[in-house]
Amino acid sequence: MISVIICTHNPRPQFLLSVLKALKSQTLAHDNWELLIIDNASEEAVSSRFDLSWHPRGKHCRENELGLVHARRKGFLAARGDTIVFVDDDNVLDADYLEEAARLFAENPGLGCVSGDIKADYESTPPRWFTPEFESWLAVRKITRDHIANFWHPKAEPVGAGMVVRRSVLAKINELHGVSDASPVLGRCGDGLLGGEDVEIAYAALDLGYSIGQVARLRMTHLIPSHRVSERYLFKLYRSLCASGRLISAKRAKATRVTHIWRESAKDLLRVFFNKRLGRRLAYERLKSVRMADAILRGEIRSKNSA
């Protein structure tokens, strides 16, 4: 069985309704999958606003500890499926998404976690400089052929939006988090934009001997509200993504400091002075990300409140 888990915090009603409408129209029979909505400390209870009576295995759960990692853990513990699909509250799946996911994992027992082709539906037009290179910050992916690897490779790196993952991989993550809460990467939390939870899942899959990837047959649309294409949000997001990557690298190396902090800072400091405007801004945000990550590792600031 497949378990679909939607983690949401103060959702935009129209977005979540679109997500649920797409799930209701899935070609995979409702009896073959379950649907869990994890209300992550929303101000108004999600269960009172979004009806799941149309689904025979639909269920609302509440997680009062704010943070995506906590919400996903709640969903994992409540789910019964051997295959988990994480659907964000702005992810509109194509009608055959769950059917293709079920077939993909049945035919490929060595797959640990994957994501797919993600099309953007922008509420407002992005800024002029916002090229496809920067679209990746918002988990937009144009996947025309499968990229599968049993080692870390950027083309095979799955994202959290629409991620399909084996239960055994999440069990490993749950075990690691149960041993210690000292993980510096806590994922999205409220208005904070630190990520890394999807990267940790992918690394856990690789550590267990599974492959990871991005596959073309899994197609969905990412609804992107206006504020997410503002310069303020985008550069904050970029800084947070850079910091998250540094924290993950440090965690896997069991480091208590960001390595080569001064060498990397010196390089970006030069770019601040000599690059064009956009290059200067990106270099500046990378400088800030190094200092942010290092401060988190040294315990000077809490990661979930830092970005």
Summarised one tens digit per residue, pLDDT across range 162-212 is 999 999 999 998 887 764 444 545 578 878 888 888 999 999 999 999 999
What is the distance between the alpha carbons of residues 186 and 170, in angstroms, rounded to a whole number?
A: 15
**Which residues, other chains included, contact 62 with Cβ-Cβ below 8 Å and sequence gap of 6+?**
38, 39, 45, 47
Instruction: Give the pLDDT confidence of 127-174 residue by residue, as tens digits.
Output: 887 877 778 889 999 999 999 999 999 999 999 999 999 999 999 988
pLDDT of residue 266 exceeding 80 = no
What is the distance between the alpha carbons of residues 157 and 110, in angstroms, rounded to a whole number?
A: 16
Nearest 5°: phi and psi at 180?
-155, 140
State the pTM of this model: 0.89
Considering the domain delimited by 2-229, tell me its CATH architecture. Answer: Alpha-Beta Complex (3.90)
What is the distance between the alpha carbons of residues 43 and 31, in angstroms, rounded to a whole number?
A: 32
Burial of 224 (0-12, 13-18, 19+ CB in 10 A): buried
| Residue ranges covered by each domain of the chain | 2-229, 233-305
Closest CA to 191 of 6, 61, 67: 67
pLDDT of residue 71 exceeding 80 = yes
Percent of the chain with pLDDT over 90: 63
What is the distance between the alpha carbons of residues 109 and 111, in angstroms, rounded to a whole number?
A: 6
**The dihedral of CA 14, 114, 120, 74: what is its sign?**
positive
